[in-house]
Amino acid sequence: MSLPLESYALIGDLQTAALVSRTGSVDWLCLPRFDGLAVIAALLGDERHGYWRIAADGQRECAARRYRDGTLILETTWETPSGTARVVDFMPPRGEAPDIVRIVEGVAGRVEMTSEIRLRFDYGSVVPRIHAIDGGFCAVAGPDAVYLDSPIEHTEHTEHTEAAAADDPKHAATFAVTEGDRVPFVLTWQAAHRDRPDPVDADVAEAETDRYWSEWVGRCTYDGEWRDAVVRSLVTLHALTYQPTAGMVAAVTTSLPEKLGGERNWDYRYCWLRDATMTLHALVYSGYDDEARRWRDWLLRALGGDPHRLRIMYGITGERRVPEHRLDWLPGYENSTPVRVGNDAAGQFQLDVFGEVLDSFHLDRSAGLSPTEEAWSVQRDLLEVLESRWREPDSGLWEMRDETQQFVHSKMMAWVGFDRAVQAVEQCGLDGPVDRWRRLRDDVHDDVCKHGYDADRNTFVQAYGSSNLDAALLLMPQTGFLPADDPRVAGTVEAIGRELSHDGLVYRYPGSDATFTACTLWYADALHAIGRADEGRAVFERVLDLRNDVGLLAEEYDVKAQRQVGNLPQAFSHVALVTAARALSGPAPGAGRMRRHDPPKLK
């Protein structure tokens, strides 16, 4: 049976990541990149599909675990009647090759430990050939070679499983640690046609990893009430960044379901422009302007010479094609099928993305991040497309896979695009047809207020002609489309609270399977903005209580099952946490509140 998502912690090296459970098992690992083929995939199946468990012998779950302060180094404590041991898990900054380092420390007394590892390449479908090498073993199949280096010898154990109906070998070892012992294990990937990388020194790698994360966290300028939660979310967001290119993945997993046993299972290991742009805002407002500059450069490369062909998502190096297919041999998390790799939503027309991208360039200018002529040229091209297409129906923020609609959030973000263009001319002195952009901005605003507002209910609706609500409209005051003290904004916030929330947790739209964590955090922000600060604070702290024991959030929360669901960890959720914390830590509602369209106060 699958473990609850709350069981998992994240380790990573800014190029890929692994998920480690409270049972001490690495159950998800793609190599050598976030979107690479999984060499461990028990998360979407079971132990037959690859895992690596280090735990106290006979213990099902750890006694406690935590991240070392300000780092992505996981410390898991195991307690037995005879003693206490600690497992330190991390991925050091990438050198010659990706490594997972696991160090077993003796804390007190004597503890019998076990290490079990079963590598299955290509998402659990390929059994590698394994042979012994000095200090461990090597597993090879096709393009992949994985080396395990340790002073503890692992031997092959053959099991017959009814599920596999075949011999299913694993490698295992038993050993003991006493107080002061440190036993290292290093798992390293290399392309199979290349020589084995030099093994890393576990102690040196630990010191370098600690120093890297401590220095990065030291740049954080947020010093409000929820600093620990904000720092953990910022570390998580940074861990979702592919360092060589600055592309930001939406999550490190694929096909974790929005509904347990359901079919809405998508691959999130790609760069959504919307998610990345919102992440950019959180990072810049927290003092990380270097990351913003690198992401802008990634965006310019991804757009290439034809911004008219803007995609809603790209691969982590800017690839335009991420074709979707199914992995039918995997039973899925909680038997939720199909398991998908790739994402066909990349080809959708989502109007709001144009506004998000133009807003990100506006943030660059506001933060003084050395705007370039190339960037302004690209923005003018995007504005031409926006001018010609803003009246078209689209698939919307929530990537509807049926018919397109005239989504109000999409139109609102079209307004954002034209508004930021006007500001670029008026405030930054850039050249452009500002009078035409002003007229377009006004046209979009009038159109939304005429066709997207239900006067009888005093609320904006999801789409023209629809009576449904949409939690994305909680972003209206953040974007500057209408001020927070406009009665229509308050009416929309209140309607969403009545019709789309459960105990303060907010669904995206009617009929959603689970509450959407980012929407709940937008709701907290919006409540604060309209003068209901105490309620906003209560909603925000409700979300803090939903995080797992190491501070991670998935995409959604199932109020019936009382479990997190969806891909994990979810950038959208963590960026909304940072944004909401900043807003709720700021001035009282009303004048002086910093909004998304205001320039950041950098250190």
Name the β-bridge partners of 248. 241
What one-character DSSP code corresponds to residue 407? B
Share of the chain above pLDDT 70, in %: 95
In this structure, what are the phi and psi dihedrals at residue 133, rounded to the nearest 5 degrees? -135, 170
- Mean per-residue pLDDT for 10-37? 98
In a domain, 601, yes or no: no
Hey, is 64 helix, strand or coil?
strand
Kindly state whether residue 591 falls inside one of the protein's structural domains. Answer: no
Residues 6+ positions from 491 with CB-CB distance below 8 Å = 457, 458, 459
The CB-side HSE value for 230 (13 A sphere, CA atoms) comes to 24
- Give me the amino acid identity at 523: Y
Q: Do 458 and 490 belong together in one domain?
A: yes
Q: Is the pLDDT of residue 602 over 60?
A: no
Examine the domain organization and report whether 143 and 84 are in the same domain. Answer: yes
Co-location of 230 and 179 in the same domain: no
CA distance 151 to 153: 6
**What pLDDT score was predicted for residue 309?**
82
Predicted confidence (pLDDT) per residue in 257-302, tens digit? 999 999 999 999 999 988 888 888 888 889 998 888 888 888 888 8
Q: Which residue has the tokens 């979407």?
A: 44
pLDDT tens digits, residue range 57-103?
A: 999 999 999 999 999 999 999 999 999 999 999 999 998 999 999 99
pLDDT tens for residues 223-248?
999 999 999 999 999 999 999 999 99
Rg over CA atoms, the chain: 25
What is the reported pTM? 0.94
Is the residue at 521 inside a domain? Answer: yes
Q: Please state, in angstroms and rounded to a whole number, the distance separating the CA atoms of residues 177 and 181.
A: 6
Q: Are residues 225 and 210 in the same domain?
A: no
Nearest Cα to Cα of residue 434 among 426, 446, 445: 426
CA dist 480 → 430, 443, 517 (Å): 21, 16, 22
pLDDT tens per residue across span 307-318: 778 899 999 998
Residue 592 lies in a domain: no
Please check whether residues 245 and 390 belong to one and the same domain.
yes
**267 assigned to some structural domain:** yes
Domain boundary among 184, 214, 244: 214
| pLDDT for position 598 | 54
CA 457 to mean position of chain CA atoms: 35
Q: What is the pLDDT of residue 283?
A: 87
Amino acid identity, position 284? V
Last residue of a domain, one of 214, 233, 248: 214
Q: Same domain for 334 and 279?
A: yes
pLDDT at 161 over 60: no
Return the percentage of the chain with pLDDT > 90, whole number: 79
Q: Residue 548 belongs to what domain range?
A: 219-584
For residue 180, the domain's CATH number is 2.70.98
Q: What is the DSSP string of 214-272?
A: HHHHTT----STTHHHHHHHHHHHHHTEETTTTEE-S-S-B---SSTT-S---B--SEE
Give which of 72, 76, 28, 83 is closest to 54, Cα–Cα. 76
Mean pLDDT of the chain: 92
Q: Are residues 176 and 285 in the same domain?
A: no
Helix (H) or strand (E) holding 585: none
Say if CB 37 and CB 123 are below 8 A apart.
Answer: yes
Q: Residue 436: is it exposed, middle or buried by C-beta count within 10 angstroms (0-12/13-18/19+)? A: middle
Beta-carbon contacts of 160 under 8 Å, excluding residues fewer than 6 positions away, are 166, 167, 168
486-513 per-position pLDDT tens digit: 999 999 999 999 999 998 999 999 999 9
Condensed to tens digits (0 to 9), the pLDDT of residues 409-448 reads: 999 999 999 999 999 999 888 999 999 999 999 999 999 9
Q: Which two tokens stand for residue 14?
A: 């800014």
Domain of 371, CATH number, reads 1.50.10.10
Helix (H, G, I), strand (E, B) or coil at 298: helix
Number of domains in the chain: 2
Are residues 289 and 432 both part of a single domain? yes
Residues 6+ apart with CB under 8 A from 553: 233, 517, 543, 546, 547, 564, 568, 569, 570, 573, 574, 577
Q: What is the mean pLDDT of residues 48-62?
A: 96
Provide the pLDDT confidence category of residue 593 given band limits of 50, 70 and 90.
very low
Report pLDDT for 594. 39
Q: What does the H/E/C string look like for 424-487?
A: HHHHHCCCCCHHHHHHHHHHHHHHHHHHCEECCCCEECCECCCCCCCHHHHHHHHHCCCCCCCH
Question: Helix 434-451 to helix 373-389 angle, to the nearest 10 degrees?
Answer: 40
Residue type, 347: G
Task: Check residue 71 and give its pLDDT.
Answer: 98
Each residue's pLDDT tens digit, 174-225: 999 999 999 999 999 999 999 999 889 999 999 999 999 999 999 999 999 9
Residues linked to residue 156 through DSSP beta bridges, in sequence order: 171
Helix (H) or strand (E) holding 73: none
Tokens of 509: 């739209």
> Is 595 part of any domain?
no
> Does 241 share its domain with 134?
no
Q: What is the DSSP letter of 600?
A: P
CA distance 493 to 530: 8
Cβ contact 553:564 at 8 Å = yes
- Stated length of the chain: 603
Q: Is residue 85 part of a domain?
A: yes
Please say if the pLDDT value at position 592 is more than 50: no
- 342 and 392: one domain? yes
**Continuous segment of H or E residues that includes residue 577:** helix 571-584
Question: What φ, ψ does residue 338 adopt, rounded to 5°?
Answer: -85, 160
Is residue 126 a contact partner of residue 49, using CB atoms and an 8 Å limit?
A: no
DSSP 86: E
pLDDT > 60? residue 599: no
Is 599 within the bounds of a domain?
no
Instruction: Specify whether 202 is located in the same domain as 241.
Output: no
Q: Taking 70 as the threshold, does the pLDDT of residue 484 lie above it?
A: yes
Q: Are residues 196 and 243 in the same domain?
A: no
> Are 70 and 85 in contact, with CB atoms under 8 Å apart?
no
